[in-house]
Amino acid sequence: MANLKISSLKLGLFVLAGLFLFILTLYIIGKNQNFFGSSFEVRARFSNVNGLIPGNNIRFAGIQAGTVKHIRVINDSSVEVVLSIDNEMKPYIHKNAVASLGTEGLMGNKVVNIVPGKSAAPLIGSGDLLATPKTVSTDEMLLTLATTNNNIAEISEGLKGTIRRINQSKALWGILDDGSLAGNIRNSLRNLSQASLHTNEMTRDLGDIVSDIKEGKGSIGSLVRDTVLSSSLARAVEKVRDAGASIDRLAGQLDETVQDIHRQVAEGKGTVHALLQDSALARKLDASMENIRAGTDAFNQDMLALQHNFLFRGYFRKLEKEKKKAAAKNETAGTH
Amino acid sequence: MTPDAPYEIRSAPAGQAEQQTPAHVQQGQPAIIIEGLCKKFGTHIVLDHFNLTVGKEENVVILGRSGVGKSVLIKCIVGLLRPDSGRILVFGKNIPDLDHEEIDRVRAKVGFLFQSNALYDSMTVRANLEFPLRRHWIAIDQKEIDEMVQEVLDNVGLGHTADMMPEELSGGMRKRIALARTLILKPEIILYDEPTTGLDPVTGREISRLIVEMQKKYHTASMIISHDMGCVKTTADRVALLIDGKCYTEGTYDALKRSNDKNIAQFFE
Amino acid sequence: MASTSKFQAFLTETGDIARFTGRYFVQGVRPRFEIGELLRQCFLIGYNSFPLVGLTGFIMGLVLTMQLRPSLVDYGVESQLPVMVGVAIVREIGPVITALIFAGKIASSMGAELGSMKVTEQIDAMEVSGTNPFKYLVVTRVAASTLMLPILVILGDTIALLGSFIGVNIRANTSFTLFFRQIVNSFNFGDVLPAYIKTYFFGFAVGIIGCYKGYYSKKGTEGVGRAANSAVVMSSILIFIIDLIAVQITDLLGIN
């Protein structure tokens, strides 16, 4: 210990430098985590937060805008995330902004991204619930499916009546004598037969799904069993089956009618003119056919969506594989 | 420690300054009375019912061979070691009974010259001398301290060394500084633990003479532990012989020198 | 037989150190407080260790950065180099390496200084001079090393990060602002506070062991040497043990 003179100045400088750096670090961290400065809270509900934790960052249009304050489970299918957002961001976030989950970098922390909405909306306020992107969930899909099927059932009911009336109307066959009209009708009938074909296919598919679900096969089966989804799914399935049955019947009748009409058109007999006078009926028939086509189109879209939904993807893939296998078997059987 | 206590201590030597009584004549209350002092380390008995009285302004030399417990004896007197039994009365107070503050008050009046000088080698000579002053007399100002340091350094003849480090000094000088450090408190009793050990004979004689000189100047009672006969001869008013933990005999240097007792004579060969 | 007596010696020493620590707390809270000596020790222990800590910190930051780079380049996350080094230094390497350097410098000097003071009766002289040597020598030194090590660690971390900045810039190019932001933004309180708090315990361990070894050193030159040596060894081991305990506690508290 050669240097015995202690310098209070140096010691003070040394201590203050250390304390300053420490407090600075704490301050910066605190600032990053919104401990200081004013902020407001909004909420967002997700079905799955993928490991988001309090303290994760919030980005608005890619800019650091706040941190996740806390996360709580609302029920078995939704989690509420409370977002603490800097006040300075308030004038830029509108009520229709969408909060989504993302990741910082390749393997980084989770972040909540707030993306501005497309249309104009009032500014966000404290405590508001931000929209989250619609994830295609099974129950929603089944719900639309059920509505569509209701529609189909109604349509087919109406169509049944119409067909009965066509069959009973002697005047209708008169129409078929008119050459120009015959072309139109033939077009319509072609559509009708296509529609019925679609309807048939779909009904079969649905029937298969329903039976599989009932047996509890695969992941979807267990999923259905375990959640509240199952009751709504069961209802939807019931409706699908009803609709399927009536479509089936309808298709059979349509088939008969079409074949009748075909025969009659080919034979060129009947009083087409008489039918022409009943223009109201003709229009109705046209509209019915349009309706049933629209109905089957919507049904098709639903089915497509179902096929792309991750839960059903595997099922449909399996179905396709089986179809291919069956086709291949048929082919090999044919060649032999 | 109460702040007024040190001032009582300071005033004590001043009151005795005019007394010119021969040192070996006991006047009033003796400085140190040791009665039935026992101390053992483990099973090794060092002091066994040791009795000794040191009068005011008297120089008593404790003579004994190495390892007989001479250092233990004086360390018990200042409370550095705690005796197993027996009484040590310093100014009428029994040291083993005192609490920390009281013992500090006694220590302010008792100087202790360590065998190894025990100069704080991280401090300058001045800081070494100031240390006991500051510790015992909290309230004194710097000017007074400086004067006292200079005075005591001049007394031991080393006025120029105030700002040197202990390691820069020779053994004899260090001993003088250590003596100065004990003297600076103007103690009434000084305990010397082998003051001439490790010094050459010339320096040893110088130190012995200095001890006597200072004793005259400061009117202290002294207890000197030594086996250096030169030192004993110079400093002793009375010699106590410590053998087997007991005070074997006591008397003046000349009286003991004349003794035919084998145990006594072996020191005077 | 020999192992039994060794184990007994170990237990005895542990008990002695515990008693010494207890004595520290008992004496430390009682007046009188040796403020002047405490400040002096803070200066000697803290300020005077700063160059050494700064140098080792700088080298550590630089070397760590250069050593980590190849692996991060392999994983394609070279841009995360400041974050990796920053977290490693602040959480673990900074406190532990600084504490070890500190133990090497301070525990040995305490062991040797108090040991030689003991041997040359300076401790007794102090007691005779109306000073409680435990308070004057031990309490001040332990308190100073407890208070100074955290500051040394903070400054050492800072210098290590500067070294890391230079290390990054040897092979790549980054601005100081980006470097600083990257590191600071990656921190949270769980990174900084436990690391900071444990340095107090490191400092305390170094002080207590250094003083204990010195205060109870055996007489003679060898005793002093052994006191200095075992003070360094024991306090270094203790630093690692405290580090182990600290990580368990932070883990249990869920702030890791």
- Is A21–C155 a contact, with Cβ atoms under 8 angstroms apart? yes
Last residue of a domain, one of A79, A98, A130: A130
Please report residues of A whose CB lies closer than 8 A to that of B127: 4
All domains of chain B in start order, with CATH: 5-16+56-69+108-265 (3.40.50.300)
Beta strands at A78-86 and A63-75: parallel, antiparallel or unpaired: antiparallel
Question: Across the interface, which of A29, A55, A106 has its CB nearest the CB of C192?
Answer: A29
Q: Is the CB of B164 inside 8 Å of chain A's CB atoms?
A: no
What's the token pair of residue B53?
């009285």
Those residues whose C-beta lies under 8 Å from the C-beta of residue B60, and which sit 6 or more positions away, are B52, B54, B221, B222, B223, B224, B236, B237, B238, B239, B240
C 168-197 near A (Cβ less than 8 A)? 184-185, 187-189, 192, 196
Chain C residues with CB under 8 Å of a chain B CB are 32, 113, 116-117, 119-122, 124-132
- Is C122–B121 a contact, with Cβ atoms under 8 angstroms apart? yes
Q: Give yes or no: residues A120 and A166 share one domain.
A: no
Q: Is the CB of C4 inside 8 Å of chain A's CB atoms?
A: no
Residue C53 has what pLDDT?
Answer: 95
Examine the pLDDT at C32 and tell me if it is beyond 70.
yes
Question: What does the alpha-carbon distance between residue A262 and residue A335 come to, in Å, rounded to a whole number?
Answer: 35
Per the domain annotation, does C105 fall within a domain? yes
Those residues whose C-beta lies under 8 Å from the C-beta of residue A258, and which sit 6 or more positions away, are A189, A192, A193, A196
Examine the pLDDT at B113 and tell me if it is beyond 50.
yes
Those residues whose C-beta lies under 8 Å from the C-beta of residue B159, and which sit 6 or more positions away, are B150, B153
- Is A1–B124 a contact, with Cβ atoms under 8 angstroms apart? no
Per the domain annotation, does C11 fall within a domain? no
Per the domain annotation, does C196 fall within a domain? yes
Closest-CA distance of chain A to residue B127, Å: 11
Peptide bond into C32 cis (omega under 30): yes
Q: Which residue has the tokens 């202990």?
A: B166
Per the domain annotation, does A32 fall within a domain? no
- Is A14–C50 a contact, with Cβ atoms under 8 angstroms apart? yes
Per the domain annotation, does A59 fall within a domain? yes
Burial of B266 (0-12, 13-18, 19+ CB in 10 A): exposed
Per the domain annotation, does C158 fall within a domain? yes
Q: Give yes or no: residues A91 and A210 share one domain.
A: no
Q: Give yes or no: residues A148 and A259 share one domain.
A: yes
Residue B9 has what pLDDT?
Answer: 38
Question: How many structural domains does chain A have?
Answer: 2
Burial of C235 (0-12, 13-18, 19+ CB in 10 A): buried
Nearest 5°: phi and psi at A83? Answer: -105, 130
Q: Is the CB of B122 inside 8 Å of chain A's CB atoms?
A: yes
- Is A11–C152 a contact, with Cβ atoms under 8 angstroms apart? no
Minimal-distance CA residue of chain C relative to A57: C185
Per the domain annotation, does A324 fall within a domain? yes
**Residue A253: which domain range?**
138-335
- Is C129–B132 a contact, with Cβ atoms under 8 angstroms apart? yes
Task: Check if the beta carbon of residue B145 is closer than 8 Å to that of residue B134.
Answer: yes
- Residue (of C222, C251, C8) closest to C116 by Cα position: C222
Identify the helix (H) or strand (E) that includes residue A324. Answer: helix A310-335
Closest-CA distance of chain B to residue C161, Å: 36
Q: Who wins on pLDDT, C218 or C23? A: C23
Total residues belonging to chain A: 336
Mean predicted confidence (pLDDT) in B226-237: 85
Per the domain annotation, does A29 fall within a domain? no
Question: Across the interface, which of C113, C124, C130 has its CB nearest the CB of B104?
Answer: C130
Per the domain annotation, does C22 fall within a domain? no
Q: What is the mean pLDDT of chain B?
A: 81
Q: Which of C203-213 are b and which e, b meaning 16 or more Cβ less than 10 Å from the residue's Cβ?
A: bbbbbbbbbbb
Testing the interface with C: which of A11, A23, A56 to mutate, by most C Cβ within 10 A?
A: A11
Burial of C96 (0-12, 13-18, 19+ CB in 10 A): buried
Closest-CA distance of chain A to residue B140, Å: 22
B 143-162 near A (Cβ less than 8 A)? none
Residue C244 has what pLDDT?
Answer: 95
What is the pTM assigned to this prediction? 0.67
Q: Give yes or no: residues A142 and A126 share one domain.
A: no
Q: Give yes or no: residues A84 and A214 share one domain.
A: no
Per the domain annotation, does C91 fall within a domain? yes
- Is C128–B80 a contact, with Cβ atoms under 8 angstroms apart? yes
Residue B268 banded pLDDT, cuts 50, 70, 90:
confident
Nearest 5°: phi and psi at C22? Answer: -60, -45
Those residues whose C-beta lies under 8 Å from the C-beta of residue A171, and which sit 6 or more positions away, are A271, A274, A275, A277, A278
Question: What does the alpha-carbon distance between residue A15 and residue C32 come to, in Å, rounded to a whole number?
Answer: 24
Number of A to C CB contacts under 8 A, please give it.
Answer: 63
Identify the helix (H) or strand (E) that includes residue B260. Answer: none
Identify the helix (H) or strand (E) that includes residue A217. Answer: none
Examine the pLDDT at B109 and tell me if it is beyond 60.
yes
Q: Give yes or no: residues A86 and A142 share one domain.
A: no
- Is C120–B121 a contact, with Cβ atoms under 8 angstroms apart? yes
H, E, C per residue of chain C: CHHHHHHHHHHHHHHHHHHHHHHHHHHHCCCCCCHHHHHHHHHHHCHHHHHHHHHHHHHHHHHHHHHHHHHHHHHCCHHHHHHHHHHHHHHHHHHHHHHHHHHHHHHHHHHHHHHHHHHCCHHHHHHHCCCCHHHHHHHHHHHHHHHHHHHHHHHHHHHHHHHHHHHHHHHCCCCHHHHHHHHHHHCCHHHHHHHHHHHHHHHHHHHHHHHHHHHCCCCCHHHHHHHHHHHHHHHHHHHHHHHHHHHHHHHHHCCC
pLDDT along chain A (336 residues), means of 10: 62 91 88 73 84 82 83 86 85 85 71 82 83 64 67 71 68 58 65 68 65 55 51 61 67 68 58 50 64 66 62 64 75 59
Mean predicted confidence (pLDDT) in B110-129: 87
Closest-CA distance of chain A to residue B172, Å: 23
Per the domain annotation, does A327 fall within a domain? yes
Residue B7 banded pLDDT, cuts 50, 70, 90:
very low
CA atoms within 13 A on the CB side of B96: 16
Closest-CA distance of chain C to residue A34, Å: 11
Residue B26 has what pLDDT?
Answer: 43
CB atoms under 10 Å from CB of C162, counted, come to 17
Last residue of a domain, one of A110, A130, A150: A130
**Residue C153: which domain range?**
34-253
Question: What does the alpha-carbon distance between residue A281 and residue A293 come to, in Å, rounded to a whole number?
Answer: 18
Question: What does the alpha-carbon distance between residue A276 and residue A179 come to, in Å, rounded to a whole number?
Answer: 12
Question: What does the alpha-carbon distance between residue B76 and residue B96 come to, in Å, rounded to a whole number?
Answer: 8
Q: Give yes or no: residues A318 and A288 share one domain.
A: yes
Please report residues of A whose CB lies closer than 8 A to that of B123: 4
Q: Give yes or no: residues A292 and A195 share one domain.
A: yes
Residue B20 has what pLDDT?
Answer: 42
Task: Check if the beta carbon of residue C40 is closer than 8 Å to that of residue C158.
Answer: no
Total residues belonging to chain B: 269
Question: Across the interface, which of B78, B120, B121 has its CB nearest the CB of C128?
Answer: B78
Residue C130 banded pLDDT, cuts 50, 70, 90:
confident
Mean predicted confidence (pLDDT) in C3-25: 91
Q: Give yes or no: residues A250 and A276 share one domain.
A: yes
Those residues whose C-beta lies under 8 Å from the C-beta of residue A282, and which sit 6 or more positions away, are A175, A275, A276
Those residues whose C-beta lies under 8 Å from the C-beta of residue A23, and which sit 6 or more positions away, are none
What's the token pair of residue C113?
């200084």
Per the domain annotation, does C8 fall within a domain? no
Minimal-distance CA residue of chain C relative to A28: C184
Chain B residues with CB under 8 Å of a chain C CB are 1, 75, 78, 80, 100, 104, 107-108, 110, 112, 114-122, 131-132, 135-136
Last residue of a domain, one of A113, A130, A147: A130
Question: Across the interface, which of A18, A19, A28 has its CB nearest the CB of C184?
Answer: A28
Closest-CA distance of chain A to residue C218, Å: 22
Partner chains of A (3+ C-beta pairs under 8 Å) = B, C
Task: Check if the beta carbon of residue B81 is closer than 8 Å to that of residue B44.
Answer: no
Question: What does the alpha-carbon distance between residue A273 and residue A181 come to, in Å, rounded to a whole number?
Answer: 10
Closest-CA distance of chain C to residue B120, Å: 6
Question: What does the alpha-carbon distance between residue A68 and residue A34 come to, in Å, rounded to a whole number?
Answer: 10
Per the domain annotation, does A196 fall within a domain? yes
Closest-CA distance of chain C to residue A89, Å: 19
Find the Cα–Cα–Cα–Cα dihedral A202, A205, A209, A211, rounded to 10°: 110
Q: Give yes or no: residues A204 and A142 share one domain.
A: yes
Q: Give yes or no: residues A112 and A243 share one domain.
A: no
Closest-CA distance of chain A to residue B122, Å: 6
Residue A203 has what pLDDT?
Answer: 64
CA distances, C242 to each of B140, C13, C135, C194 (Å): 46, 18, 25, 12
Per the domain annotation, does A26 fall within a domain? no
What is the DSSP code (8-state) at residue A33?
Answer: T
Please report residues of B whose CB lies closer than 8 A to that of A1: 122
- Residue (of A58, A64, A276) closest to C181 by Cα position: A64
Question: Across the interface, which of A1, A3, A26 has its CB nearest the CB of C192?
Answer: A26
pLDDT tens-digit series, residues C66-122: 999 999 889 888 888 888 899 999 999 999 999 999 999 999 999 999 998 888 888
- Which ipTM was obtained for this model? 0.83
Examine the pLDDT at B1 and tell me if it is beyond 50.
no
Examine the pLDDT at B104 and tell me if it is beyond 90.
no
Please report residues of B whose CB lies closer than 8 A to that of A4: 122-124, 127
Please report residues of C whose CB lies closer than 8 A to that of B122: 113
Which stretch of A158-162, B229-233, C18-22, C163-167 has the lowest confidence by average pLDDT?
Answer: A158-162
Across A226-235, A275-284, B164-173, C43-52, which has the greatest mean pLDDT? C43-52
Question: How many structural domains does chain C have?
Answer: 1
What's the token pair of residue A292?
């049933």
Per the domain annotation, does C21 fall within a domain? no
